[in-house]
Amino acid sequence: MRSAPRRGWRRGITQGAAAALLLAVLAPVLWLVQMSFRPHGAALGADPVFVPTMANYRALAAGGFPASFANSLLASTGSTLLSLLFGVPAAYAMARHRFRARGRIAMWVLVTRMAPPVAFTIPFFLVFSDIGLIDTIPGLIIVYMTFNLALVIWTMRGFFAAVPTALEEAAWIDGAGVWSTFLRVTLPLAAPGVAATGILCFIMSWNDFFFALILTRTHAMTAPVAIVNFMQYAGWEWGKIAAAGVLVLLPVLVFTFFVRSYLVSGALAGGVKE
């Protein structure tokens, strides 16, 4: 049996290593945060002592960044909700119903993720130009749905498969229909999966740069593109870039914080089969 002081010493080393690792991982974020509060002209300075200022955030608020931020929120939220709306029932159908082409359809859905986004850029650009969807939020939502739907269908299919069919059969015996059983029995049991999938969809849409770069101009420009626009000919506006970077981190942090318990159970669901 090991002595208590030795265990404590080992725990101290482990915790110290964990803290060092955490600091290393968070260092870029922390650097970004401190940079966003540095005064104009000193954004790239390494001096640890400085008078923090909100000037960069005020400059962002006074410019076009809030509109870009709102565009990002609208496009990401819209595509996430619509992807879940269409993808969750589709995943349920593919998990529960036995039909001949089930495997092939699932594979075709996955095919949409097998090519890099750049492969779809030109078709999207040409079609969107013709039908007037360039520089619109609905246009971005449609694009984001194309890669989110595959994620929702494949992920939720696994969650639905993990829900025991006996529960649904019991509901049917009690007189519930297919939709009623799905909405009242299966979906609540798969809620952690929906939350985890929703977060992934939101993050993927939120972080998109390439499609937003090509398919928007001014009206629907998203936050990641707006940040690159701070790289001006007369100089890179480092303070604004840092402040905008911090603001872009926030929604994902807040969203993840509120659904973190779902996220953990969602990630673990189906890990152990009974």
Partner 1 sequence: MGSTIGRRQVLAAGTAAGGLLALSGKAPAAGGTKPLKGVTLNISCWSAPYPLLLAKYIPEFEAETGARVIYTTPSFPIYNQRMGLALATRSDAYDVVNVTFIFIGQWIGAGWVLPLDSFIANPKLTPADWNAADFFPGTTTAFRNAAGQLCAIPWIADVMMGGAARYDLISKAGFAMPDNFSEMPKMLAAVNGKDGVPGFLTENHYGWTFPGYLQGFGANIFRNPPHDLMPVLDTPAAVEAAGFFSDLLRKFGPRGALSYTYDEVVAALKSGTVNYATENEAFVTQMAQPGSKVMRTCGFSLFPAGPAGRFPQVATHGWGIPAGSRNKDAAWQFITWAMSRKLLLRMFREHGWSSVTRRSIVELPEFRSKLTLNGFDVAKMYLDTVDLAAKGYMAYRTVPPYPEVDRQIDIAIQGIVSGEKTAQQAMAAAQRNSIVQLRRAGVKL
Q: Angle CA(265)–CA(269)–CA(274) in degrees, nearest 5? A: 135
Residue 236 interacting with partner 1 (CB under 8 A): yes
Residue 252 interacting with partner 1 (CB under 8 A): no
In DSSP terms, 231 is beta-bridged to 236
Q: Angle CA(202)–CA(206)–CA(209) in degrees, nearest 5? A: 140
- Among the candidate windows 4-12, 48-56, 217-225, 258-266, which touches partner 1 by CB under 8 A? 217-225
- Among the candidate windows 51-59, 60-68, 147-155, 231-239, which touches partner 1 by CB under 8 A? 231-239
Rounded CA separation 259/254 (Å): 9
SS3 state at 114: coil
- Please work out the total of residues on this chain that contact partner 1, with binding judged by CB under 8 A: 21
Residue 121 interacting with partner 1 (CB under 8 A): yes
CB atoms within 10 A of CB 74: 16
Residue 253 interacting with partner 1 (CB under 8 A): no
- Among the candidate windows 21-29, 85-93, 147-155, 211-219, which touches partner 1 by CB under 8 A? 211-219
Residue 229 interacting with partner 1 (CB under 8 A): yes
Residue 172 interacting with partner 1 (CB under 8 A): no
Rounded CA separation 62/42 (Å): 21
Q: Which residues contact 245 (CB under 8 A, 6 or more apart)?
A: 32, 36, 227
* Angle separating helix axes 65-96 and 191-206, nearest 10 degrees: 140
- Among the candidate windows 1-9, 51-59, 97-105, 119-127, which touches partner 1 by CB under 8 A? 119-127
* Helix (H) or strand (E) segment spanning residue 235: strand 235-236
Residue 225 interacting with partner 1 (CB under 8 A): yes
Dihedrals phi, psi of 229, to nearest 5 degrees:
-70, -10
Rounded CA separation 14/110 (Å): 41
Query: What is the total residue count of the chain?
Result: 274
Residue 47 interacting with partner 1 (CB under 8 A): no
Residue 217 interacting with partner 1 (CB under 8 A): yes
Residue 31 interacting with partner 1 (CB under 8 A): no
Judged by CB under 8 A, which of 48, 116, 235, 271 binds partner 1? 235
Shortest Å, Cβ 213 to partner 1: 6
- Which of 198, 203, 239, 205 is CA-nearest to residue 222? 205
* Residues in 125-154 at the binding interface with partner 1, rule: CB under 8 A: 125-126, 129, 134
- Which of 204, 237, 190, 228 is CA-nearest to residue 89? 190
Judged by CB under 8 A, which of 33, 55, 213, 252 binds partner 1? 213
- Among the candidate windows 96-104, 136-144, 233-241, 251-259, which touches partner 1 by CB under 8 A? 233-241
Judged by CB under 8 A, which of 182, 230, 255, 262 binds partner 1? 230
Binding site for partner 1 (CB under 8 A): 41, 121-122, 125-126, 129, 134, 213-214, 217-218, 225, 228-236
